[in-house]
Amino acid sequence: MKISASFLSSSNIPMDLKRLNQTDVDFIHVDIMDGKFVPNKTMPFSEMKNIYKYTDKRLDVHLMVDNPEKYIPLYAELNTEYITFHVEVMDKVEENLELIKSYGIKCGLSIKPGTPVKSLVPYLPLLDLILVMSVEPGRGGQSFIDGTEKKIREVRELISVYHSKALINVDGGIDDITKNSCQECDILTSGSYIIQSDNFQERIDSLR
């Protein structure tokens, strides 16, 4: 199991990124919120781009925004492995996936808890990643939603039926208990469980 660590709930981002850099975590999960697609808003790119000063880990960028095309070129400049945006945006989905790929970066779509899995079908041939939200997007520290395990199975079945190469990432309320509901995924994204602990590596190990 690969682990992506989110610093959304961090109160000292530079320090926590340095601490994460000393672990064997696979990715740093970067949550980007525009205050429109979700109510909350994260720091601007002018500050976010400084991540490289504190970690050389590959980035897993999650765009919770109305206009992904505005953010994709910016985050393509960083040490980024994946850029994921929401299928619920609806507009220019295929174009934005192709835009991500044009930078040589892997592309993904995220799906909210209440969105039908079938909404992913038109885009499956393009996808490297499907991010299943196990909380409502927009705020750290939420509890894992019951029923997510069923959704993960539906996504896995979809991938199998359509012979997709996409990996499954699950994000929201992930800890050493809820990971048991995510056995069919490939990547676990965890924030508070790691960041609000005294031993990052110990928590990461407990998720693998």
Task: Write down how long the chain is.
Answer: 208
- Indicate the residue type of 170: V
Distance, in Å, from the CA atom of 184 to the CA atom of 181, rounded to the nearest integer, reads 8
Q: SS3 for 93?
A: helix
Of the residues 31, 34, 66, 91, which is catalytic? 31
Q: SS3 for 106?
A: strand
Answer for the pair 76, 50: CB distance below 8 angstroms, yes or no: no
CA distances from 191 to 12, 14, 76, 195 (A): 13, 15, 23, 6
Q: SS3 for 62?
A: strand
Residue 79: CB atoms within 10 A of its CB come to: 12
Q: SS3 for 105?
A: coil
Rg of the chain over CA atoms, in angstroms?
A: 16
Asked if 31 is an active-site residue, the reply is yes
Of the residues 16, 26, 128, 171, which is catalytic? 171
Residues assigned a catalytic role: 31, 171
